[in-house]
């Protein structure tokens, strides 16, 4: 009985109901996180050329979006901000009246059921567009993490449930955990972008967040895409420093890294399904070369199958509709 004709794997593929019964991987709206780009103004919904379907939203519009996310059962929102003003040190990143801080306060007041995460970084707030402070063309580490920790604290003070540092400076998780605990925010969780690779797939995002580096690239702080073992060291260090959960980013070109992190560490693992991965499918679908819905769901299931508990994705709202 070990093979054909007694064994026929097609028996359980015969109908949709049989296939559903033996499905090994499940995708639910509650596992998805929707990124939003908050911008100044009121009633603003500004479409993005490089990220079709995604819009920059003023705070009042983010709140409307937040209500929809709760209705659709989506797990969380991840807030990015476009500041009024940029400067050398990214001071709006930690301003009490900064765009992210105002957005978080509004979401917490108006949509209390929504889990609010914030991206903690300097790149959208600095004139040079780097994720840390710059001196003579160098991205400084130890001074940067002080500013980054202040930004995380300001998000916690505004009411964020989870802060997600994406800068890839060494030691930033410890700096953030330290300042949060000192200031009485011991219940705010840290979801660290632990294994974040220097990637071409962030292209469309940089238009959305207006965060393209003015000189050079991010290779002196983001990881080399060839290094899965180093990714495990990054995750181990972030967990030692106090991260509660970790992100692997991008996702589709790094599914092996997701699996290795999942196998090695018993913490929640998130995959960031980045802008370029979304954009590729959108562009191909617009040309009629593939079906967006099927390609998107196939991609999201692949991330779950690789081992991601949570997926940060621009398809979160669409996927929730498709899965309903
Ligand atoms: C900021 C940040 C980036 C992304 C998330 N946070 C861009 C970058 O590192 O250049 C990328 C997200 C995406 O491409 O969807 N540090």
| pLDDT bracket for residue 226 (50, 70, 90) | very high
User: Which residues, including other chains, have CB under 8 Å from residue 22's CB and lie 6 or more apart?
Assistant: 12
pLDDT(52) > 80: yes
pLDDT of residue 50: 84
pLDDT of residue 55: 95
Angle subtended at Cα 269 by Cα 263 and Cα 275, rounded to the nearest 5 degrees: 125
Among the listed residues 127, 129, 121, 108, the one whose alpha carbon sits nearest the alpha carbon of residue 148: 121
* pLDDT (tens digit per residue) in 80-127: 999 999 999 999 999 999 999 999 999 999 999 999 999 999 999 999
Decide if 100 contacts 159 (C-beta within 8 A). Answer: no
Joined tokens for residue 141: 């580490």
Q: What is the pTM of this model?
A: 0.97
> What percent of the chain has pLDDT above 70?
100
Kindly state if the Cβ of 251 falls inside 6 Å of ligand 1. Answer: no
- Beta bridge pairs of residue 134: 139
Average pLDDT over the chain reads 97
Q: Whose CA is nearest to atom 5 of ligand 1?
A: 166
Say how many Å lie between the CA of residue 197 and the centre of ligand 1: 10
Residue by residue, DSSP assigns 218-240 as: STTTSBPTT-HHHHHHHHHHHHH
Q: Is the peptide bond before 250 cis (omega within 30 degrees of 0)?
A: yes
Mean pLDDT on 50-79 = 96
Decide if 86 contacts 127 (C-beta within 8 A). Answer: yes
pLDDT of residue 207: 86
Among the listed residues 192, 117, 222, the one whose alpha carbon sits nearest the alpha carbon of residue 159: 117
pLDDT of residue 243: 98
User: How many CB atoms are closer than 10 A to CB 142?
Assistant: 12
Q: Which sequence positions are flagged as catalytic?
A: 196, 249
Kindly state if the Cβ of 197 falls inside 6 Å of ligand 1. Answer: no
pLDDT of residue 83: 96
Mean pLDDT on 300-304 = 98
pLDDT of residue 102: 98
| pLDDT bracket for residue 208 (50, 70, 90) | confident
Kindly state if the Cβ of 139 falls inside 6 Å of ligand 1. Answer: no
């Amino acid at each position: 009985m070990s093979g054909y004709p007694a064994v026929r794997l097609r028996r359980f593929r015969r109908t949709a109901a049989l296939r559903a019964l033996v499905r090994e991987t499940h995708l639910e709206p509650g596992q998805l996180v929707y990124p939003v780009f908050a911008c100044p103004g009121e009633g603003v919904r500004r479409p993005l050329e490089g990220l079709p379907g995604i819009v920059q939203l003023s705070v009042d519009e983010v709140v409307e979006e937040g209500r929809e996310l709760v209705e659709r059962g989506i797990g969380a929102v991840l807030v990015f901000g476009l500041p009024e003003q940029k400067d050398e040190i990214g001071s709006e990143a930690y301003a009490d009246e900064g765009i992210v801080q105002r957005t978080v306060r509004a979401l917490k007041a108006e949509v209390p059921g929504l889990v609010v995460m914030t991206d903690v970084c300097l790149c959208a707030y600095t004139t040079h567009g780097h994720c840390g402070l710059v001196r003579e063309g160098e991205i400084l580490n130890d001074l940067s993490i002080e500013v980054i920790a202040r930004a995380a604290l300001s998000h916690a003070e505004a009411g964020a449930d989870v802060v997600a540092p994406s800068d890839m400076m060494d030691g930033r998780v410890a700096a953030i955990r330290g300042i949060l605990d000192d200031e009485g925010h011991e219940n705010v969780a840290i979801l660290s972008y632990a294994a974040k690779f220097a990637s071409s797939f962030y292209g469309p995002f940089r238009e959305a967040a207006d965060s393209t580096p003015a000189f050079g690239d991010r290779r002196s702080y983001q990881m080399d895409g060839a290094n899965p073992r180093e990714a495990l060291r990054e995750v181990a260090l972030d967990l030692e420093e106090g991260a509660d959960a970790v992100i692997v980013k991008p996702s589709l070109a790094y599914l092996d890294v997701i699996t290795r992190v999942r196998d090695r560490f018993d913490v929640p693992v998130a995959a960031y399904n980045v802008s370029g991965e979304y954009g590729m499918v959108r562009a191909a679908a617009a040309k009629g070369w593939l079906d967006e819905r099927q390609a998107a769901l196939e991609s999201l299931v692949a991330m779950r199958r690789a081992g991601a508990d949570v997926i940060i994705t621009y398809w979160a709202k669409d996927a929730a509709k498709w899965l309903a």
